[in-house]
Amino acid sequence: MVVTGARLGKLVDLINEHGLASVSAQDARYAGTVGRGPWVAKITIARLDKVVGLP
Protein backbone atom coordinates (compact mmCIF):
# COMPACT_ATOMS: atom_id res chain seq x y z
CA MET A 1 0.00 0.00 0.00
CA VAL A 2 1.26 3.46 -0.87
CA VAL A 3 -0.19 6.56 0.78
CA THR A 4 0.67 9.89 -0.88
CA GLY A 5 0.08 13.24 0.77
CA ALA A 6 1.60 15.77 3.15
CA ARG A 7 2.47 15.82 6.86
CA LEU A 8 2.11 12.04 7.08
CA GLY A 9 4.28 11.56 10.20
CA LYS A 10 1.30 11.43 12.59
CA LEU A 11 -0.49 9.04 10.24
CA VAL A 12 2.50 6.69 10.29
CA ASP A 13 2.55 6.82 14.11
CA LEU A 14 -1.15 5.92 14.29
CA ILE A 15 -0.69 3.02 11.87
CA ASN A 16 2.22 1.66 13.90
CA GLU A 17 0.22 1.97 17.14
CA HIS A 18 -2.85 0.30 15.60
CA GLY A 19 -4.76 3.46 16.55
CA LEU A 20 -6.27 4.23 13.16
CA ALA A 21 -9.87 3.38 12.32
CA SER A 22 -9.88 4.53 8.68
CA VAL A 23 -8.09 6.61 6.07
CA SER A 24 -9.58 8.41 3.10
CA ALA A 25 -8.07 10.51 0.32
CA GLN A 26 -9.13 14.12 -0.18
CA ASP A 27 -8.84 16.43 -3.15
CA ALA A 28 -5.90 18.87 -3.07
CA ARG A 29 -8.23 21.84 -2.61
CA TYR A 30 -8.95 20.56 0.92
CA ALA A 31 -5.27 20.19 1.93
CA GLY A 32 -5.32 23.50 3.81
CA THR A 33 -8.46 22.70 5.77
CA VAL A 34 -6.80 20.03 7.92
CA GLY A 35 -4.43 22.55 9.49
CA ARG A 36 -1.23 20.89 10.62
CA GLY A 37 -2.73 17.40 10.47
CA PRO A 38 -1.94 14.78 7.83
CA TRP A 39 -3.48 15.13 4.39
CA VAL A 40 -3.87 12.05 2.18
CA ALA A 41 -3.97 12.71 -1.55
CA LYS A 42 -3.94 9.16 -2.89
CA ILE A 43 -4.07 5.59 -1.62
CA THR A 44 -2.75 2.91 -3.96
CA ILE A 45 -2.90 -0.82 -3.32
CA ALA A 46 -0.94 -2.96 -5.73
CA ARG A 47 0.24 -6.54 -5.88
CA LEU A 48 3.93 -7.04 -5.25
CA ASP A 49 5.24 -9.92 -7.31
CA LYS A 50 7.82 -12.26 -5.87
CA VAL A 51 11.35 -11.03 -6.53
CA VAL A 52 13.53 -13.69 -8.18
CA GLY A 53 16.43 -14.79 -6.01
CA LEU A 54 14.85 -14.08 -2.63
CA PRO A 55 13.72 -16.95 -0.41
Residue ranges making up the domain that contains 16: 2-44
Residue 54 reports pLDDT greater than 70: no
Overall number of domains in the chain: 1
User: Does residue 10 lie in a domain region?
Assistant: yes
Q: What is the mean pLDDT of residues 47-52?
A: 69
Q: Comparing 51 with 14, which gets the higher pLDDT? A: 14
Nearest partner of 28 among 51, 54, 4, judged by Cα: 4
Alpha-carbon gap, residue 11 to 34, rounded angstroms: 13
Residue 24 main-chain phi, psi, to 5 deg: -140, 150
User: Does residue 26 lie in a domain region?
Assistant: yes
User: Does residue 32 lie in a domain region?
Assistant: yes
User: Does residue 27 lie in a domain region?
Assistant: yes
* 4-39 confidence digits (pLDDT tens): 888 888 888 888 898 888 888 888 887 777 777 788
Do residues 28 and 41 make contact, with C-beta atoms less than 8 angstroms apart? yes
Strands (DSSP E) found in the chain: 2-6, 39-44
User: Does residue 53 lie in a domain region?
Assistant: no
User: Does residue 51 lie in a domain region?
Assistant: no
User: Does residue 8 lie in a domain region?
Assistant: yes
pTM over 0.75: no
